[in-house]
């Protein structure tokens, strides 16, 4: 099969692309390499995909808000499936630029759906987020729960994307899976995410900002488990379905910090900060539907996943420092 992965140079996208290439598929990754974080990180991810895929991998630099580009890419590629992961991410940044989040996430998703539909692609897997649950009083979060309490522009944009997916299924009969990711971590993690930021600051002996008293709980999910769920969706006819993809186990923020301290072999210096607008006290996935319909079975517990992340984190830092030293000596 030939897959288009939007956001294919990013954290989750590069892992999904690598899995599909290793399975013998063709992959086209579309990414705008924007400076939300250092584009060099994405170039490193692309190097992995080129090495794995060879001629079966293609990279296109482009923005999902550019409809003409998407029409051209989809027309030339004749894709069997689209995995739509491109988005402006993060709750807190969305508070600063709500219009940008709506433009990229909502209008961009319409563009991807339209361009692919017009060229005959009938199957989509789209990224949503656990943030759509907002201030949900029921735990664990079920796909059947009401989702009308979003508390950030990012969450609102993902709610809109889910609605658009249903529209395209209803009107055009497209096969669409909407995936609500729960706090994904692991190798290649984005540097703006908490685990990466904490590890960087702990290594440097600098204080880490902790918002609240450390009791906030998250359903941390290892990236390879997330990829299992994404790929399972590509292998099944689903109609229109929404799935939680999480570990289905919550970890307190202070417990996460303790795991990082243990894996890094260094103590964390804590800088207490007030709770931030848009943050929720807990995320917790009910994954019974994904287990039943996808065979989804997350295997990596946080106690095993954090050491895997730290091993990659230190290797990546060592390679980066080595490259800088070589440049200075040249």
Contact 272, 210 (CB under 8 A): yes
What is the model's pLDDT at position 327?
53
Phi-psi group of 64: left, alpha or beta (phi > 0 → left; psi -120 to 50 → alpha; rest → beta): alpha
Q: Is the pLDDT of residue 146 over 90?
A: no
Residue 218 tokens, joined: 């998250």
Contact 242, 308 (CB under 8 A): no
Q: Region 184-213: what's the mean pLDDT?
A: 94
Q: How confident is the model at residue 51 (pLDDT cuts 50, 70, 90)?
A: very high
Q: Region 156-179: what's the mean pLDDT?
A: 96
Total residue count of the chain as it appears in this document: 330
Q: Is the pLDDT of residue 324 over 60?
A: no
What is the model's pLDDT at position 276?
78
3-state secondary structure of 94: helix
Q: Region 11-33: what's the mean pLDDT?
A: 98
Active site residue 154: yes
| Alpha helices per DSSP H over the chain | 11-22, 39-53, 67-77, 91-96, 98-101, 108-118, 153-172, 194-204, 223-234, 253-264, 288-294, 302-329
Q: Give domain limits for the chain.
A: 2-182+222-248+277-300
Residue pLDDT, tens place only, 216-229: 899 999 999 999 99
What is the model's pLDDT at position 114?
95
Q: Region 167-188: what's the mean pLDDT?
A: 97
Active-site residue identified among 37, 101, 133, 154: 154
Place of tokens 């994405």: 42
Q: Region 31-60: what's the mean pLDDT?
A: 95
| Average pLDDT, rounded, for the chain | 93
Q: Region 194-223: what's the mean pLDDT?
A: 94
What is the model's pLDDT at position 78?
87
Residue 93 tokens, joined: 């940044």
Q: Pick the more confident residue, 2 or 281.
A: 2
Beta strand pairing status for 221-222 and 269-273?
unpaired
Distance CA 103, CA 293 (A): 33
CATH code: domain 2-182+222-248+277-300 is 3.40.50.720
Instruction: Provide the angle, in degrees to the nearest 10, between the axes of the packed helices 194-204 and 302-329.
Output: 60
Q: Is the pLDDT of residue 138 over 90?
A: no
Residue pLDDT, tens place only, 244-265: 999 999 999 999 999 999 999 9
């Amino acid at each position: 099969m030939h897959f288009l992965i939007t956001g294919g140079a990013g954290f989750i996208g590069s892992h999904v692309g690598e899995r599909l290439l290793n399975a013998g598929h063709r992959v086209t990754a579309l990414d705008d390499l924007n400076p939300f974080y250092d584009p060099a990180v994405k170039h490193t991810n692309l190097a992995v995909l080129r090495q794995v895929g060879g001629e079966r991998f293609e990279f296109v630099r482009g923005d999902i808000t550019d409809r003409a580009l998407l029409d051209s890419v989809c027309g030339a590629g004749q894709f069997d499936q689209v995995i739509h992961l491109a988005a402006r991410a993060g709750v807190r940044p969305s508070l600063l630029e709500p219009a940008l989040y709506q433009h990229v996430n909502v209008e961009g998703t319409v563009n991807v759906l339209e361009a692919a539909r017009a060229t005959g692609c009938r199957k989509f897997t789209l990224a949503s987020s656990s943030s759509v649950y907002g201030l949900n009083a029921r735990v664990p979060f079920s796909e059947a729960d009401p989702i009308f309490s979003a508390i950030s522009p990012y969450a609102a944009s993902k709610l809109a994307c889910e609605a658009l997916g249903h529209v395209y299924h209803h009107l055009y009969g497209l096969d669409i899976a909407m995936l609500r990711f729960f706090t994904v971590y692991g190798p290649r993690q984005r540097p703006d995410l908490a685990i990466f930021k904490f590890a960087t600051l702990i290594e440097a002996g600098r204080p880490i900002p902790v918002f609240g008293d450390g009791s906030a709980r998250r359903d941390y999910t290892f990236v390879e488990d997330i990829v299992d769920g994404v790929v399972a969706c590509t292998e099944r006819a689903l109609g229109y379905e929404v799935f939680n993809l999480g570990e289905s186990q919550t970890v307190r923020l202070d417990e996460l910090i303790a795991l990082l301290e243990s894996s890094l072999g260094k103590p964390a210096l804590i800088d207490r900060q007030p709770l931030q607008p848009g943050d929720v006290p807990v995320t917790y996935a009910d994954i019974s539907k994904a287990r039943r319909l996808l065979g989804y079975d997350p295997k990596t517990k946080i106690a095993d996943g954090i050491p895997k992340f730290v091993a990659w984190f230190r290797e990546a830092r060592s390679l980066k420092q080595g490259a800088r030293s070589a440049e200075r000596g040249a």
